[in-house]
Amino acid sequence: KDLEENREQIEEFWLKPTPMKRMGQPEELQGAALYLASDASSFMTGHTMIIDGGYTIY
Q: 10-45 pLDDT, tens per residue?
A: 999 999 999 999 999 999 999 999 999 999 999 999
Rounded to the nearest 5 degrees, what angle is found at the Cα of 25, between the Cα atoms of 55 and 54?
A: 15
Asked if 6 contacts 42 with a C-beta cutoff of 8 angstroms, the reply is no
> What does pTM read for this prediction?
0.64
Domain interval for residue 33: 1-39
Q: Which of 3, 51, 4, 54 is nearest to 26 (CA)?
A: 51
Q: Which of 11, 25, 16, 1 is nearest to 55 (CA)?
A: 16
pLDDT of residue 25: 94
In a domain, 49, yes or no: no
How many angstroms separate the first and last alpha carbons of the chain? 28
In a domain, 17, yes or no: yes
In a domain, 1, yes or no: yes
Backbone φ and ψ for 27, nearest 5 degrees, come out as -65, -20
